[in-house]
Structure formats: structure tokens, C-alpha cells
A and B are shown apart, each in its own frame.
Chain A
Amino acid sequence: DIVMTQSPDSLTVSLGERATINCKSSQNVLYSSNNNNYLAWYQQKPGQPPKLLIYWASTRESGVPDRFSGSGSGTDFTLTISSLQAEDVAVYYCQQYYSSPITFGQGTRLEIK
């Protein structure tokens, strides 16, 4: 199984500042035949299902604010929120869908300073 490890576990950032969450996979999730990284990022707020923010490691889902961006390739990935807003308080998860079983990171809790 591919193990997904996020860092940090929790993060406190001031409004308007940059937030960075890292995700490392135990195996490569880049499919060489199509050059796609099978890596997604989700945002989950209390009492709600997760919301897809980014797929293919860097493709922003329609309607997601452009302050959210994804980067990385192979085994190391980053979710960046360029200017933190109050509504961004949530838990963030990375997920690999390169191979079964699909696996998630443990989550990163993002709070406002």
C-alpha cells in the first residue's frame, strides 16, 4: 500500500499570510505514460463531507478560489494557500489514486492565529 504522510499535523497562520501543507507518498504516484500525478487535495469543514480542491496534483477544481494551488511530482507534493482567509479554517487531506488501495494522508488542521 502507498502510505501518505502529511506535515505538519496542525498549522496556525495569520489572516492574509501564506499557508503551506506538505504531503509525501511512500511510492511514486506519477504515471509516466500520461505524465499525470495521481494526487488530490481535499478540504473538510466540521460536519461536512470533504471538498475536492486539486486533482492531478496541480489542477484546481472548478469554483475553487485561485489562492489555492498544488505543486510537486513523484513523491513530494505541496498545497499552498497564498493569502489565508477566515473561511479556509478546515482540515486538509491529500490522497493518492495511483493504485488500489486508495489512501489518504492523516490530515492537517489549519487554524487562524
Chain B
Amino acid sequence: QVQMVQSGAEVKKPGASVKVSCKVAGYSLSELSMHWVRQAPGKGLEWVGGYDAEAGDTVYAQAFQGRVTIIEDTSADSLYMELRSLRSEDTAVYYCAGNNYYASGSFLIWGQGTLVTVSS
């Protein structure tokens, strides 16, 4: 049974950075195509970025270009997302999500979510 366990809730001030982690258990991270998706309170799902199997590289949504970095540490089966220059609109639950490469881009496995609150 594959599980993804994320780090705990964070409260940050505007302009600060946050780093959220996602630990994969029961599977090897190197066999998964992993992404980050966020959901603002009461809103829909928004893709942040992740591994594009066709491009063979990590890609990011234009809205986050230059502010976000996604890193995989396959030796620790862990995924990280760092978001910089935080603003109040970044307040959201951030999910790591992934699938095997056959269905890469659809999200079978989800972390429990990490609430990031940006407030002065």
C-alpha cells in the first residue's frame, strides 16, 4: 500500500518562503511521477508543478514560475516543494500527488495535505 505523508501546517508572513515535504512509503519515489496541487479555502484544485514524463523534466505552472522549486530526493523517497515570496493568495492546502508512469499526469496517490497560511 503506497502512502504519502506530508509535513505539518505552516504559518508564514508575506514575503517569506515555505518548504513542504512529502515522504513516500511502500513504493520507490523513482517509480512515480510526482506533482504538487494546491487548493485555496473553499476553492478548486490548482496544479503547481511536477514531473513531465514527455519532457523528461520538472515543469511549473506559469503562475508560479520563478517562485517555486520542486525537488526529488530518491535516496530518501521524499519530495519537496519550496514556494518563495509568499503572499496572502498563497494561503491554501498543498497536496503532493502522483501515479505510475503509465498513467503519468493523473493522480492516484495523494498526501494528506499541508495547510500553508500566509498572514501578517
Interface residues of A (CB under 8 A from B): 1, 38, 40, 42, 44, 49-52, 55-56, 61, 93, 95, 97-98, 100-107
Contacts and interface: CB of A to CB of B under 8 A. Distances in A.
Given A42-B107, A51-B110, 20 more contacts: A40-B107, A44-B45, A49-B97, A49-B111, A49-B112, A50-B45, A50-B110, A55-B103, A56-B103, A61-B108, A93-B44, A95-B45, A97-B104, A100-B55, A100-B59, A102-B35, A102-B105, A104-B44, A104-B45, A104-B47
A39 B86 CA distance: 31
Interface of B: 35, 44-47, 50, 52, 55, 59, 61-62, 95, 97, 99, 103-108, 110-113
B47 to A, nearest CB: 4
Contacts of A95: 45, 106-107
A100 B110 CA distance: 20
B96 to A, nearest CB: 10
A38 B46 CA distance: 17
Contacts of B62: 1, 101
A40 B45 contact: no
Nearest to B53: A97
21 contacts: A49-B95, A49-B97, A49-B111, A49-B112, A49-B113, A51-B110, A52-B106, A52-B108, A55-B106, A56-B103, A61-B108, A97-B105, A98-B105, A101-B47, A101-B59, A102-B47, A102-B105, A104-B45, A105-B44, A106-B44, A107-B45
